[in-house]
Amino acid sequence: MRLNKYISEAGKASRRGADKLISEGRVTINGKVARIGSQVEPGDDVRVSGDPIRVARNYVYIALNKPIGITSTTEKSVKGNIVDLVNHPLRIFNIGRLDKDSDGLILLTNDGDIVNEILRAEHKHEKEYIVTVDKPITPDFLKNMTEGVKILGTKTLPCKIVQLSKYVFQITLTQGLNRQIRRMCEALGYEVYRLQRIRIMNIHLGNLPVGQWRDLSKKERTQLFRELNYEPKEW
Residues assigned a catalytic role: 99
Judged on CB neighbours under 10 Å (0-12, 13-18, 19+), 47 is middle
CA distance 186 to 231: 40
**What is the C-alpha radius of gyration for the chain, rounded to an integer number of angstroms?**
23
Q: How far is CA 17 from CA 5, 39, 169, in A?
A: 11, 17, 63
Question: DSSP string spanning 2-48?
Answer: BHHHHHHHTTS--HHHHHHHHHTT-EEETTEE--TT-B--TT--EEE
